[in-house]
Amino acid sequence: MFKKRMAFLILAVTAAFVVVDVLWLPHSRMSVDIANFIDLAQIAGLFLLTYAIGKGIYFRVNNDPSRMGRSVAHAAESLMILVRSAALFISLGFVGAVFMYLASGAGYALMDASLARADAALGFDWLAFLAAANASPGLSAVLIVAYHSVGPQIPLLFIILAFLRREDRLLEFVGLMAIASLLTAVGMAFVPAAGAYAHFNPPPELFENFTRQAGMWHHAELMKLRSGEPFVYLADHSKGLVTFPSFHTVLGIIITYALRGYRWLFVPAAIVNSLMILATLPEGGHHLVDVLAGFLIALFGLTLVRSLERNTIREREAS
* DSSP 8-class letter at 117: H
Mean pLDDT calculated for residue range 276-302: 96
Q: What is the pLDDT of residues 160-173, one digit of tens each?
A: 999 999 999 999 99
Mean pLDDT calculated for residue range 199-208: 94
State residue 303's pLDDT score.
94
- The span from the CA of 239 to the CA of 250, in Å, is 17
Provide the residue type at 109 as one letter. Answer: A
- The span from the CA of 309 to the CA of 267, in Å, is 24
State residue 63's pLDDT score.
81
User: How many structural domains does the chain have?
Assistant: 1
- The span from the CA of 131 to the CA of 135, in Å, is 6
Q: Whole domain around residue 23: which residue ranges?
A: 2-318
The structure's pTM equals: 0.93
- Which three-class secondary structure state does DSSP give residue 201? coil
